[in-house]
């Protein structure tokens, strides 16, 4: 057969492929891009198969417009993984593939390196004595670098040279810019270890030997507190891989991609390293993608989406802080990057390491049942002391902005000793509600089933669920009274209260509001390190990945909201936060202290966590999950639906429920729960409902969904409501 039809996956929300005629002279390839007519538009899609048969008469088929690739964009294991992800996460194949491509490829850019702006030294620059530039060290640095050869604009910026310096030098005629395609790097040939490495302790050596003993697929859970030497283990695992010319992929959480992390890897090996994160522009994104594919990068470090980088010769995947919630994408293709990383390693037949001080309950369960190898590091390098910790029973105690008197006293003690204090509160704004003191009226968002958060700094009421914001009203919307009071405490209020309580110390607040400006988080973190602030207030954001050696007191000031949350993962997240901050508080010469404020010091999970540690906590927490038929003992799928009319949404999900109940796979073990109103039952004017499906294993789950989805799509209401499927949701809101 000579295939004359290309079956193409297009970036449209439809679960089907589209057939196009291949014109003479065109030679599309499976996994490569083609541009095709689609209605009045031209779309770029991926060829999934080549055939000579179509369900449609050939006379009705349109022809491929342009063939964009002569080679597939992905090698078979990754292409296979993407197809699998499309069916597992119930997301159309065309959209899934588009999701996994850099924007420029989606727009039709050639999948080959384009020219880069490079700098080279001129004769005049070569003659310039560096000693004469002692007062312009950056200029000297650039000249010195370029005397050893050309360098790209990007890599000079990465060495903290500003564009202004480059302009100054070029104005002086010492350096000149040119556009060129960078030389192919042969990093494998030049590979060396470029710094002295510490001798591994027994546990580290065992971890490294265990992974190295099996060059094929294996999933290893590396559990060890902060500072126990996990990164050192990663470095030791990378070394033989890189030496053999194989590439490494390292995934980190959203806020974990700090210059310190990147520099650890840069210092150790002289291999080209690329990063992938949300701060990259489209050109940079394509460039990292190509560097992976063309073996021009030995190491790629990136957040979630870096998982989709193709590699010519991938040798190992590392998922650092594997418990982190940012690995789950919350819209479009709702994948979990950790889970897909394990799948990818399996398909590529290479080892994958999941590292964490506080592994997710799912991963621990997999380790306990033997699916993952469990490696542990129990010692903290540099023999830092474990922080002291305790619960502070605040029942009946007077609190000022959420702070009890005993906590305030402890804070004073630590501050007077010249140390820093860190307070966690996961609620931004001044107060989560505003109430009328005379009639009890509450200021409510008109578009959501939620109260307004009061932001005092901007004098606004803001809804944290939709974009609505309005000036704070002078009077009650019901009785006209001017006595409007703030209810509850947010980070802004805490900050203000601390300024009153401790006027002699400087306070900084780290949350999404205070760090909106690009680069502001980094400069705050730097200032904290330099001890410009003594009291640090933050949401979850402050806990991730930062190490402040002068912080000796940490307090979680509202533990109860996590203990009594309707999110079944809240307790696990609280425990992870606690262990993280406890692991970072203090250092050898300055022992740290962690205080948890609660009304329920006797709470079983809290007791397990405090007195027996994270491991015992997870034993109790897993036991609770098992009894409640929750993950990891079952698999959940959440159907979310919303529309302007509540009845339509409920009706739609009733019908979806009907489809599942008539499924041949339906039984007592796979209950369908709902439809129920979502925890936030109305958002931005739309009513929200959900249906939860619980299945004992992944296979049943996927079979049920695959059978049900086409039937759901045929429901007339499916066009009237907005709905989505979240397979293994991370949160149920």
Q: Which residues are annotated as a binding site for Zn(2+)?
A: 436, 439, 445, 448, 463, 466, 476, 479
Nearer to Zn ion, 212 or 475 (CB): 475
Identify whether the C-beta of residue 38 lies closer than 8 Å to the C-beta of residue 13: no
10 Å CB burial of residue 480 (0-12, 13-18, 19+) is exposed
Residues 380-399 that bind ligand ADP (CB under 6 A): 381-382
* Of positions 8, 143, 333, 445, contacts Zn ion by CB under 5 A: 445
Interface mask (CB under 6 A) for ligand ADP, residues 313-332, using x and -?
--------------------
Identify whether the C-beta of residue 47 lies closer than 8 Å to the C-beta of residue 7: yes
Q: Which does 198 bind (CB under 5 to 8 A by kind): Zn ion, ligand ADP, none?
A: ligand ADP
Is there binding between residue 478 and Zn ion (CB under 5 A)? yes
Which residues are registered as beta bridge partners of 356?
223
Q: Cβ of residue 448: shortest distance to Zn ion, in angstroms?
A: 3
Of the candidates 190, 79, 171, the residue with the CA atom closest to the CA atom of residue 122: 171
Q: Which does 124 bind (CB under 5 to 8 A by kind): Zn ion, ligand ADP, none?
A: none
Interface mask (CB under 5 A) for Zn ion, residues 410-439, using x and -?
--------------------------x-xx
State the Cα–Cα distance between residues 94 and 82, nearest whole angstrom. Answer: 10
* Enclosing H/E stretch for 382: none
Is there binding between residue 359 and ligand ADP (CB under 6 A)? no
Nearer to ligand ADP, 226 or 287 (CB): 226
Instruction: Dump strand ranges (E) for 546-666.
Output: 551-556, 586-587, 590-591, 593-598, 635-643
* Enclosing H/E stretch for 409: helix 405-416
* Of positions 86, 99, 151, 226, contacts ligand ADP by CB under 6 A: 226
State the Cα–Cα distance between residues 434 and 472, nearest whole angstrom. Answer: 10
Number of residues that bind Zn ion (CB under 5 A): 15
The 3 state secondary structure assigned to 139-157 is HHHHHHHHHCCCEEHHHHH
* Of positions 86, 128, 151, 204, contacts ligand ADP by CB under 6 A: 204
Q: Which does 120 bind (CB under 5 to 8 A by kind): Zn ion, ligand ADP, none?
A: none
Of the candidates 497, 487, 548, 511, the residue with the CA atom closest to the CA atom of residue 425: 511
Q: Cβ of residue 438: shortest distance to Zn ion, in angstroms?
A: 5
Binding part of the chain for ligand ADP, among 47-55, 139-147, 229-237, 406-414 by CB under 6 A, reads: 229-237
Nearer to ligand ADP, 256 or 488 (CB): 256
* Of positions 77, 227, 253, 256, contacts ligand ADP by CB under 6 A: 227
State the Cα–Cα distance between residues 450 and 424, nearest whole angstrom. Answer: 23
Enter the tokens of residue 6.
Answer: 């290309």
- Tally the C-alpha atoms within 13 A of residue 168's C-alpha that lie toward its C-beta: 12
Nearer to ligand ADP, 544 or 625 (CB): 544
Q: Which does 236 bind (CB under 5 to 8 A by kind): ligand ADP, Zn ion, none?
A: none
Is there binding between residue 236 and ligand ADP (CB under 6 A)? no
Q: Which residue has the tokens 């390190």?
A: 529
CA–chain centroid gap for 225, Å, is 20
Determine if residue 218 is left, alpha or beta; phi over 0 gives left, psi from -120 to 50 gives alpha, anything else beta.
Answer: beta
Is there binding between residue 116 and ligand ADP (CB under 6 A)? no
State the Cα–Cα distance between residues 609 and 594, nearest whole angstrom. Answer: 13
Is there binding between residue 568 and Zn ion (CB under 5 A)? no
The residues of the shown chain that bind Zn ion, judged by CB under 5 A, are 436, 438-439, 441, 445, 447-448, 463, 465-466, 468, 476, 478-479, 481
The residues of the shown chain that bind ligand ADP, judged by CB under 6 A, are 198-201, 204, 224, 226-232, 381-382
């Amino acid at each position: 057969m000579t295939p004359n039809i290309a079956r193409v996956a297009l970036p449209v929300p439809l679960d089907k492929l589209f057939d196009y005629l291949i014109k003479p002279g065109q030679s599309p390839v499976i996994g490569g891009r083609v541009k095709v007519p689609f209605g009045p538009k031209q779309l770029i899609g991926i060829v999934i198969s080549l055939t000579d048969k179509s369900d449609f008469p050939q006379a009705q088929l349109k022809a491929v417009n342009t063939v964009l690739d002569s080679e597939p964009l992905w090698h078979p294991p990754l292409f296979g993984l993407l197809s699998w992800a499309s069916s597992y996460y119930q997301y159309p194949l065309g959209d899934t593939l588009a999701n996994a491509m850099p924007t420029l490829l989606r727009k039709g850019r050639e999948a080959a390196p384009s020219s880069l702006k490079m700098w080279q030294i001129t004769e005049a620059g070569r003659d310039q004595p560096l000693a004469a530039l002692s007062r312009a060290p950056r200029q000297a640095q650039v000249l010195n670098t370029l005397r050893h050869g050309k360098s790209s604009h990007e890599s000079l910026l990465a060495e903290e040279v500003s564009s202004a310096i480059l302009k100054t030098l070029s104005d002086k005629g010492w350096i000149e810019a040119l556009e060129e395609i960078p030389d192919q790097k042969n990093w494998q040939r030049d590979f060396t270890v470029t710094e002295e490495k510490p001798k591994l302790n027994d546990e580290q050596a065992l971890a490294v030997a265990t992974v190295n003993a099996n060059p094929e697929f294996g999933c290893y859970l590396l559990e060890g507190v902060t500072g126990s030497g996990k990164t050192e283990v990663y470095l030791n695992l990378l070394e033989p891989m890189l030496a053999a010319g194989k590439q490494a992929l390292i995934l980190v959480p959203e806020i974990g991609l700090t210059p310190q992390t990147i520099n650890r890897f840069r210092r150790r090996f002289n291999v080209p390293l690329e990063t992938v994160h949300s701060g990259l522009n489209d050109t940079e994104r394509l460039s990292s993608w190509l560097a992976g594919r063309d073996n021009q990068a030995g190491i790629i470090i990136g957040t979630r989406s870096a998982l989709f980088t193709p590699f010519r010769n991938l040798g190992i995947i590392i998922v650092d802080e594997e418990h982190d919630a940012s690995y789950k994408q919350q819209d479009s293709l709702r994948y979990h990057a950790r889970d897909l990383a394990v799948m990818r390693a399996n398909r590529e037949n290479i080892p994958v390491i999941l590292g964490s001080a506080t592994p997710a309950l799912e991963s621990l369960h997999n380790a306990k049942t033997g699916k993952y190898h469990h490696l542990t590091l129990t010692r903290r390098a540099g023999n830092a002391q474990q922080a002291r910790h305790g619960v502070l029973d605040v029942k009946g105690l007077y609190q000022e902005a959420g702070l009890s008197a005993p906590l305030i006293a402890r804070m004073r003690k630590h501050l007077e000793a010249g140390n820093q204090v860190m307070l966690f509160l996961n609620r931004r704004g001044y107060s989560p509600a505003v109430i009328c003191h005379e009639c009890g009226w509450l200021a409510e968002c008109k578009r959501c089933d939620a109260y307004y958060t009061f932001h005092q700094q901007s004098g606004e009421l803001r809804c944290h669920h939709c974009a609505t914001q309005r000036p704070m009203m002078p009077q009650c919307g019901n009785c006209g009274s001017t006595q409007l009071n703030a209810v509850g405490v947010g980070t802004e209020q805490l900050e203000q209260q601390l300024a009153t309580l401790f006027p002699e110390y400087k306070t900084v607040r780290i949350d999404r509001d205070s760090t909106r400006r690009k680069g502001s988080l980094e400069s705050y973190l730097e200032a904290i390190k330099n001890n410009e602030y003594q009291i640090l207030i933050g949401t979850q954001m402050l806990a991730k990945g930062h190490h402040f050696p002068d912080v000796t007191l940490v307090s979680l000031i509202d533990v109860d909201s996590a203990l009594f949350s309707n999110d079944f993962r809240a307790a696990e997240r609280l425990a992870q936060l606690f262990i993280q901050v406890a692991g970072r508080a203090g250092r050898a010469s300055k022992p740290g202290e962690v205080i948890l404020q609660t009304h329920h010091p006797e709470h079983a999970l809290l007791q397990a966590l405090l007195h027996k540690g994270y491991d015992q906590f997870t034993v109790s927490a897993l036991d609770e999950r098992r009894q409640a038929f929750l993950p990891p003992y079952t698999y959940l799928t959440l159907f979310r639906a919303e529309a302007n009319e509540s009845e339509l949404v409920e009706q739609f999900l009733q019908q979806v429920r009907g489809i599942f109940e008539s499924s041949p796979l339906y039984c007592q073990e796979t209950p369908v729960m709902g439809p129920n109103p979502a925890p936030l039952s109305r958002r931005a004017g739309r009513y929200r409902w959900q249906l939860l499906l619980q299945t004992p294993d992944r296979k049943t789950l996927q079979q049920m969904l695959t059978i049900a989805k086409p039937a759901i799509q045929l429901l007339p209401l499916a066009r009237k409501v907005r709905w989505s499927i979240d397979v293994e949701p991370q949160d149920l809101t």
